[in-house]
Structure 1
Amino acid sequence: MINRMRRVRAALPWVLVGVLSSATVMLTLLPAAWITPLLARATQGHVNLADPSGSLWHGSATLMLAAGHDTRNATLLPGRIEWRTAFWPLLTGHVRMRMWQTEAMPDAVMLEAQVRGATLSAGAMAVPASLLTGLGAPFNTLDLQGDVRLSWTAWRSIGQKAFGQLVVTLNEMSSRVSRVKPLGSYRVVLQVEGAGATLDLSTLKGALILDGHGTLRAGATSFQGTASAAPEARENLAGLLNLLGRSTGPNSVALTFVR
């Protein structure tokens, strides 16, 4: 009996080494697809990773923007999101990943995730305006062209709740449905607080003047705003204004969206 216990104690360190080695190999070989739901969950389905390749340890995917969890009309950003994952945190069930975009993101961001939630560090990136069509109305109708910059604060996801701010700056926008080029420059601020969010639209400059405020909650989305034309562009923007909303006067329309 004593000899048997001694043999067990002698073999125990090697058993532990074998178990840890096997776990390490399994973790490093996990496919890249294992991490793609993390970003989608943290951003309520608006930002996704598509076509993943490689592994959790070292991989890449295409960045996709969508109007929500329905990705049928989503758009893809040229280039690839690439990532490197820290090894030691994986042993405790903690994903710590450095990410960057090969063509649009000048500085890398950090994604940290556990079972209970995830955090994406603050960052910024430039994207083509055509990418915004994946977010749905009104971008898919206007087919915008111009320079778009996305910037965000640290983004936290806890269960089904998210917290963070996304600012979209649209510079020198033009549209296939208007002869006025450019229409103007605008700012959209999405503030997410738990299960709800607010959306604010304002005009920085331009012939087409847009402003409004909206709220987003599970199962209910609403936006109320106005669109009007600068005096010198009223005639040329009349058709676009009629397309955007219901007339509230000779030079303005109501921007209303309820779902």
Structure 2
Amino acid sequence: MNFWMRRLRAALPWLLVAVLSSGTVLLVLLPAAWITPVFTKASGGHVNLVDPAGSLWHGSATLMLAAGSDTSAATLLPGRIEWHTAFWPLFTGRVRMTMLQSEAMPDPITVDATGRGSTVSQGTIAVPASLLSGLGAPFNTLDLQGDVRLAWSDWRSFGKQSFGQLTVTLTDASSRVSLVKPLGSYRVVVQAEGDSSTIDLSTLKGPLTLNGHGVLGGAATSFNGTASAAPEQRDNLAGLLNLLGRPSGPDTVTLTFAH
């Protein structure tokens, strides 16, 4: 063994330490912006983290939600969403993050992702009613106001398939096109079942009754339901009912959508 080989053999352990140390430092210093595009891509643009600060391990961002496919109609939530990322699961190819939104989310949630899919633990969050305008007509015309809360079960995604339940509760809703305030309180339940989902609309209380059922899928989307007015609000709600659908009976219109 010549002189240079002996020197190289003696220095090799130190080189390995230097490489590992540099890699660890780079890993620790990964900026928060590194993770934000992952959420946009995984959610199809519905969940976006903007104005990130901090690092991959402990950072924060503003949460921007888009209800429909038009991301230009996304809604910024007040406050910041903060996260902590576990270090050791990364060595098994898993990203595990604990997230909490400071003003709208009462309890933290866990995001667990691998190359095969991801799971978001159950949780709830309060969102502005303006988020519903992103769904397009008739929501953008109605300009609904009220308290909106999203609640979901463990939500699992594998490629384009999703499994879980999302419940949207709109309490004491009102609209700029109606003088009746409030119109009522409503619940929408979306059940994701792989390539397709079902949607059920029901009324909790109020003079405007909304009910319906639909199917959301890649090939076709359809919804059928009814809207009706309480007798004592018949005249006041006539204009709103005409805006929602076609007359199908006394104080009742049909709600239909197909794509």
Q: 1:61 & 1:137 partners in 2: Cα distance?
A: 30
1:111 equivalent in alignment to 2:111: yes
Q: 1:43 & 1:197 partners in 2: Cα distance?
A: 15
Amino acid in structure 2 at the alignment position of 1:67: A
Query: Which residue number in structure 2 is paired with residue 53 of structure 1?
Result: 53
Q: 1:92 & 1:119 partners in 2: Cα distance?
A: 16
Amino acid in structure 2 at the alignment position of 1:258: A
Q: Deviations over 1:10-67 (max 9, x none)?
A: 4443333323222222323333233224334444433332333332122222222223
Distance 1:194-1:16 versus aligned 2 partners, 3 A rule: farther
User: Does the CA contact (< 8 Å) of 2:198 and 2:215 recur in 1?
Assistant: yes
Map residues 191-210 of structure 1 onto 2, 5 A cutoff: 191-210=191-210
Query: Which residue number in structure 2 is paired with residue 258 of structure 1?
Result: 258
Q: 2:57 & 2:42 partners in 1: Cα distance?
A: 20
Structure 1 length-normalised TM: 0.90
Where in structure 2 are there 5+ consecutive unaligned residues?
A: none
**CA RMSD in angstroms, aligned pairs only:** 2.2
User: Does the CA contact (< 8 Å) of 1:41 and 1:157 recur in 2?
Assistant: no
Map residues 94-105 of structure 1 onto 2, 5 A cutoff: 94-105=94-105
Identical aligned pairs, as a percentage?
71
Q: 1:3 & 1:152 partners in 2: Cα distance?
A: 67
Q: Deviations over 1:93-143 (max 9, x none)?
A: 321111111110111111111222211111111222223223333322211
- Secondary structure of 2:168's counterpart equals strand
Query: Which residue number in structure 1 is paired with residue 235 of structure 2?
Result: 235
- Secondary structure of 2:137's counterpart equals coil
User: Does the CA contact (< 8 Å) of 2:70 and 2:134 recur in 1?
Assistant: no
Amino acid in structure 2 at the alignment position of 1:174: S
Query: Which residue number in structure 2 is paired with residue 168 of structure 1?
Result: 168
The alignment covers a number of residue pairs equal to 259
Where in structure 1 are there 5+ consecutive unaligned residues?
A: none
Q: 2:190 & 2:174 partners in 1: Cα distance?
A: 22
Q: 2:233 & 2:46 partners in 1: Cα distance?
A: 34
Query: Which residue number in structure 2 is paired with residue 82 of structure 1?
Result: 82
Amino acid in structure 2 at the alignment position of 1:205: K
